[in-house]
Structure 1
């Protein structure tokens, strides 16, 4: 059995297929089955093709699926909608059709898609394919392509079945998702904010935004402002006419004395009751004195000499084949039918078989389309039948004028059969389409033009006349006008005296408000929308009250529309301009042609619009200021509501989910915390301690941390909370490369793959409990942040049982937790790049050991063995090297200066003086005090490349004693946990 799926605009196709010798069986409106009566009775291509099969037809009045956000986002920040998950779901009104498809496809071997042959139709087709393949994955799928509902067209479609084009469907998926994200984000932002700012005017109004509708509004506003800013200028010119009265007349208005006027002169000549006006070759001047001088020269010798008489053939071209945009424009101008109504009527005419598919960008008739039968069909008309017969009899038969556009999908719009019963606007639009078709396959109008040039006192004037010799297409196309203009016979070299020479004035005029045809032309020119969506976007800005119509059907911007455009323009982002959307439309075309990847285009434009959105929100007061002159004074918003409306700028990407991490204010207290915008799905967060008084995003970007960009932070600390040598305000990186910030805040960086909070696991390691939600921050909670990977894990053997005896495996390195240590390699640029080291597999005990460190390589590590790498740097005072810093090799350390750009550039440090291959890994800042022996509170080894050393490691631990549980941090004054010495109330 074959299953044919048709969308509702093609529903008339069911009737046609039934007329091709099939019997209808209908159980419900959504379950239409068609069976051939007998095999012997099959007489056409379709029935022959499926004569041994049961044929089932189903149709849809709309798309099967709709797009929406996977979670309810009614209370979320609008910026989150750029990253929120989008899913497709089946609307309730389409469930029955989906069930019908699932039921029928079980018995089918072939699925043929008969949806409209445009982008949207292809996308609907793939929705149907997805539904059917979910039930029957191996079903064969073919695509029928047609442009009109006629027997010949359907037979051609059946003979030329092809594979569906997924690239065209992908372009629609990208457009739908972008329109959803962009529209939802901006609409939510505008509506929530402006309803609070202007409650009296906009309390209950939806203030929508669309990436197509806003540039459409921008065209209307731009024209209106051009009219407002237009300054008219008065002009002057010389005007001369010739009458057969043979009188010379000089006319001059002495009151026209403004130097800013435009002057022009015209010569008139009347012969045998015909008035001939000669135009000045200079046309007009804006200088009164200059025009007056030239006029007086002409009047001193007002004899006109004919310098040339030129006669040449003249043609008025017949119209191009009709595409959708041209049909909308001409219907608006000539028939006074709106674009929306035009497309609605055209769709009806198409489904009833009167015209071809009305959504096409093509104005070239394909060579394989037989035009003769289409013209012959119109010979039945009592109105234009005679002209159609003339077209058939003209030399060469129907000969259309060809345009330059083709969408390679549909031919130009043309009639497919004759009708004399259509009434109202349906009849008027059908008549226009027929007349346009007959005109474009006819011949150009022909005429003879005569141009006469004359000279008066060396000033040049000219006139022209026209004699129409063959009207041709004008006989059937009353929408064009071409009239005869008679002038007397002039001979070259002859002279005559003009009847009148005048110096007259006029004024420059501003452009007119846009008509619907003008607006559609601008949308097409700048790539806003498609031929199928122009009318929809225009109707949207009308329904939102962004624009209105004057009595002569011209667009006038409303107060809300004016304010929105002016507000966004004042921000520096010309969102009312077509640039952003035009680039998107161009990329969608490339996706449909397979020249660009679907996902790269999607992500590129999401990020572009997201950047514009964030900046627009931060400059939202300019939107309020622009709307105030139209809607009244802006309402003051309480500070807490203002904070809720603000959208923080991203600091870096979350290592768990890839979304942005931003700074937010704590609900309790004045502090801030860094959190993922994906909360509550993602709980990654960094809580800054109370000693951080202020934290904000700096414009500078860390050149080291990845994934870029990682923005630096401006921090201000409480007085007394930092060592004396450190400033209370500085700029640092939260990405993991800033050692100073990492040491001061004691940050424990999250690892990708963990569950969030203060130190998530590494995928295969133990995971700590999930942190509390950001709504209840603790002032003394440890901040945490994902690390920047500076090392690449090497393959490790499976963990083996811990052994503390001398007989244990000599190649096993264990950490302080008693687990096998993880071998890593330093990747970060620096003196230790490429060097291997061991660290704790779970990241809990802070163990660190260079793999090539003397006396440790290959040695078994027991829990109680003191670690060489955790010993503090030593300053020798009782030897020959007294006062000098010694490295782990017990040799004098060398002093070097940081040359790499960053917060530590120019800072001096001590390190091992041996070559890189033999270095012990010793490192110490030259300006830091040496901690006392036995109380070393781990610093950083290897210039920050090796990780953090274990804290307070002593040699008292034994192999049979597990590591002690970490005690909570207590105050150094009152010894009470929960706060530090800097914030102690007894201080």
Structure 2
């Protein structure tokens, strides 16, 4: 019997369906899923895992945060313990029966690590079991058939590179998280996490917010004219796009105001080519998905679902160049039976295909469609992502977009204005990819010496704007550029920052005051922890493990030594760090001035743990307000127009909303529950009959009261940051 190991159940079931010759038997053994089938007259059994089936942890004696020396924790051994015992037991059982095992997990570092976990249990039961690896980039008949006909050696170096990351992330996360949490006095549910990737990423968000707060706007003025020729109005801007001196702007405005007509002085014509987009790698896919309203975290989940069903290729890749092994025409022909048939037919009619090319890497091919999908078979969100991937694929095979541009210099009483026109000469790839639009700006027929009537002239004062906050897509792109995280982990890191209330705002990421406190405390006392250089260097070390140039043990031990140096620096300044954190937390709880006295409104927690707003002058001032018990709260520094109570903004799972703190305000009337409708006559009659039946029934014998049992204590599990 041959054994196959898949990463997840949905992938395992599909692999079994694609390989089987005849019926597949699905069963559960020892609480774990098992698929049995035959191929080429050989018996096969397939065990789907649940991702990682082994978790990393420290020995039990290191569980106590208060009683553990952090230097000892940095040196502590790491144990690999089964997290899915039923699957582990089934692996050991089947390992004793199997002659060979084929690892068919995802073909990347994480997939290799998961495969190594399964091999550990199999080899403990049967050291002589043969092992091979099936590499594939899509769960389609062609890919799976090719992978199992061309089995390869299992790559233990690749698995070690992934495990080294897991070990280092656990060590760094546990040590630094405990240090910061203990210094701040925030442990338990309110612990503060610090991590090797998480903290430098958070520092990027905080540093951008500092730039915005330090930004001083510079005033400038723009002169805009509305002109007309041949009954067609058009716009022209002064050649000096921005006047930084108001007097100069006024003088130019006064000069131009004296003219009734403008004279065309110069015409410049040009052609512009907009290159078709490169194929999707993971980062570009997440950026594009974000632009159509799908967050990076959701986009990865949806892409994973589509991959498991065979509709798209593997969604975790750095590659932006199609390899020669991909039959592009075959994919286009498959799309002829879908909603994209006309677009696919148009590209096929060109004959030779010339796809765009980006950076070629040795991992998976760019994300592209595989099996054709019907809209009725997918959820609305799945279809949205599938359509994006299909249209991007089509766009990469189409032609460049071309425009014809015209710049006309028009003088109004010797003041030069520029009118810009643009016509689409060839729509090209934009016909296939509507997410990137291009608009035409039509001008009347203009030539040198033509007169244009002045309809309107404006002098608008503006200010320069601070740098924009990062969107999730922009932050992922920056993380990639700085070597923070991997294509598989970047979206997950950002989601953890949201979950830990370090950041809020779905479109524009804003850091909380707690984020400022943590990052500023670390930047002032141990800047290395907040910088990406340390993490990017470690990523290079992991690449060396994968290539066999370094051993996992060596890299992990070097990382422990570096962590001990950082910990020593932190311990020497622990009092300064504690003071900095306390200052930040006080700032985080302040919500503004109390409207009834000179005190400050603060967010507090009562004995039951419920949060509310109280005055810092208590007990002299007893002013207080209730608060929503869930969501991040932001002070808006403005008052309600109805009742003058302070306004707040609440960020919850379903978005954000604004409210005043006064629960008796008119704005809350719609919040009150509507009274229940009066019962109908039949309902009243039925109720009365039931009451009569109860009255006539014999009283039931009382059961002996159960003894009260003490509440079971929840088992606490250590949580650490990445």
TM-score, length-scaled by structure 1: 0.55
**Which secondary structure state, in structure 1, belongs to the residue aligned with residue 152 of structure 2?**
coil
Q: 2:367 aligns with which of 412, 418, 423?
A: 412
Which residue in the other structure is 2:599 paired with?
none
CA distance in 2, matches of 1:17, 1:105: 23
Are residues 1:351 and 2:351 paired?
no
Q: 2:574 aligns with which of 620, 626, 631?
A: 620
CA distance in 1, matches of 2:373, 2:18: 21
Q: CA deviation at 1:502?
A: 4.9
Are residues 1:432 and 2:391 paired?
no
CA distance in 2, matches of 1:125, 1:295: 72
Are residues 1:272 and 2:273 paired?
no
Which residue in the other structure is 2:46 paired with?
57
Which residue in the other structure is 1:69 paired with?
58
In 2, are the aligned partners of 1:16 and 1:151 still within 8 Å (CA)?
no
Cα separation, partners in 2 of 1:607 and 1:312, compared to 1, 3 Å: same
Q: 2:219 aligns with which of 216, 234, 239?
A: 234
Which residue in the other structure is 1:309 paired with?
267
Which residue in the other structure is 1:569 paired with?
523
Q: CA deviation at 1:189?
A: 1.6
CA offsets, 1:264-313, max 9 Å, x none?
A: xxxxxxx5222131441x32232334555666676789986645433333
CA distance in 1, matches of 2:285, 2:572: 43
CA distance in 1, matches of 2:157, 2:364: 14
Which residue in the other structure is 1:225 paired with?
210
Which residue in the other structure is 1:342 paired with?
299
Cα separation, partners in 2 of 1:279 and 1:441, compared to 1, 3 Å: farther
Which residue in the other structure is 1:192 paired with?
182
CA distance in 1, matches of 2:448, 2:158: 64
Q: Which moved more, 1:142-151 or 1:222-231?
A: 222-231
Q: Which moved more, 1:150-159 or 1:506-515?
A: 506-515
Q: CA deviation at 1:85?
A: 1.3
Which residue in the other structure is 1:165 paired with?
155
Are residues 1:206 and 2:186 paired?
no
Q: CA deviation at 1:481?
A: 0.8
**Which secondary structure state, in structure 1, belongs to the residue aligned with residue 389 of structure 2?**
helix
The structure that is helix-richer by fraction is 2
Task: Describe how 1:107-186 pairs up with structure 2 within 5 A.
Answer: 107-186=97-176
Unaligned stretches of 5+ residues in structure 2: 589-722
Cα separation, partners in 2 of 1:491 and 1:204, compared to 1, 3 Å: closer
In 1, are the aligned partners of 2:259 and 2:454 still within 8 Å (CA)?
no
Q: Which moved more, 1:610-619 or 1:552-561?
A: 552-561
Are residues 1:97 and 2:52 paired?
no
Cα separation, partners in 2 of 1:447 and 1:237, compared to 1, 3 Å: closer
Unaligned stretches of 5+ residues in structure 1: 37-46, 245-270, 635-987
Cα separation, partners in 2 of 1:106 and 1:391, compared to 1, 3 Å: same
Which residue in the other structure is 1:536 paired with?
492
Are residues 1:12 and 2:1 paired?
no
**Which secondary structure state, in structure 1, belongs to the residue aligned with residue 527 of structure 2?**
coil
Task: Describe how 1:670-681 pairs up with structure 2 within 5 A.
Answer: none
CA distance in 2, matches of 1:16, 1:420: 23
Q: CA deviation at 1:194?
A: 1.6
Q: CA deviation at 1:114?
A: 0.3
Q: CA deviation at 1:231?
A: 1.1
CA distance in 1, matches of 2:238, 2:158: 55
Cα separation, partners in 2 of 1:596 and 1:465, compared to 1, 3 Å: farther
In 1, are the aligned partners of 2:220 and 2:243 still within 8 Å (CA)?
yes
In 2, are the aligned partners of 1:514 and 1:555 still within 8 Å (CA)?
yes
CA distance in 2, matches of 1:576, 1:87: 28
Which residue in the other structure is 2:603 paired with?
none
CA distance in 1, matches of 2:404, 2:112: 51
CA distance in 1, matches of 2:291, 2:95: 48
Cα separation, partners in 2 of 1:429 and 1:403, compared to 1, 3 Å: same
In 2, are the aligned partners of 1:445 and 1:471 still within 8 Å (CA)?
yes
Which residue in the other structure is 1:726 paired with?
none
Q: CA deviation at 1:113?
A: 0.8
CA distance in 2, matches of 1:608, 1:515: 33
CA distance in 1, matches of 2:26, 2:54: 27
Cα separation, partners in 2 of 1:377 and 1:191, compared to 1, 3 Å: same
CA distance in 2, matches of 1:620, 1:425: 48
**Which secondary structure state, in structure 2, belongs to the residue aligned with residue 360 of structure 1?**
coil
In 1, are the aligned partners of 2:317 and 2:365 still within 8 Å (CA)?
yes
**Which secondary structure state, in structure 2, belongs to the residue aligned with residue 34 of structure 1?**
strand
Which residue in the other structure is 2:3 paired with?
3
**Which secondary structure state, in structure 2, belongs to the residue aligned with residue 106 of structure 1?**
helix
Task: Describe how 1:340-489 pairs up with structure 2 within 5 A.
Answer: 340-381=297-338, 383-397=339-353, 399-421=354-376, 422-454=378-410, 461-489=417-445
RMSD: 2.8
Question: Which one scores higher on RCO, CA 8 angstroms, separation ≥ 6?
Answer: 2
Task: Describe how 1:584-599 pairs up with structure 2 within 5 A.
Answer: 584-599=538-553
**Which secondary structure state, in structure 1, belongs to the residue aligned with residue 190 of structure 2?**
coil
CA distance in 2, matches of 1:338, 1:298: 48
CA distance in 1, matches of 2:253, 2:151: 75
Which residue in the other structure is 2:696 paired with?
none
**Which secondary structure state, in structure 1, belongs to the residue aligned with residue 355 of structure 2?**
coil
Are residues 1:322 and 2:307 paired?
no
CA distance in 2, matches of 1:237, 1:100: 73
**Which secondary structure state, in structure 1, belongs to the residue aligned with residue 485 of structure 2?**
coil
Say how many residue pairs are matched. 582
Q: Which moved more, 1:168-177 or 1:606-615?
A: 606-615
CA distance in 2, matches of 1:624, 1:158: 58
In 2, are the aligned partners of 1:10 and 1:116 still within 8 Å (CA)?
no
In 2, are the aligned partners of 1:31 and 1:100 still within 8 Å (CA)?
no
Which residue in the other structure is 2:78 paired with?
86
Q: CA deviation at 1:495?
A: 6.1
In 2, are the aligned partners of 1:377 and 1:418 still within 8 Å (CA)?
no
CA distance in 2, matches of 1:330, 1:157: 31
In 2, are the aligned partners of 1:350 and 1:357 still within 8 Å (CA)?
yes
Cα separation, partners in 2 of 1:624 and 1:294, compared to 1, 3 Å: same
Q: CA deviation at 1:499?
A: 5.2
Higher Rg: 1
CA distance in 2, matches of 1:459, 1:448: 26
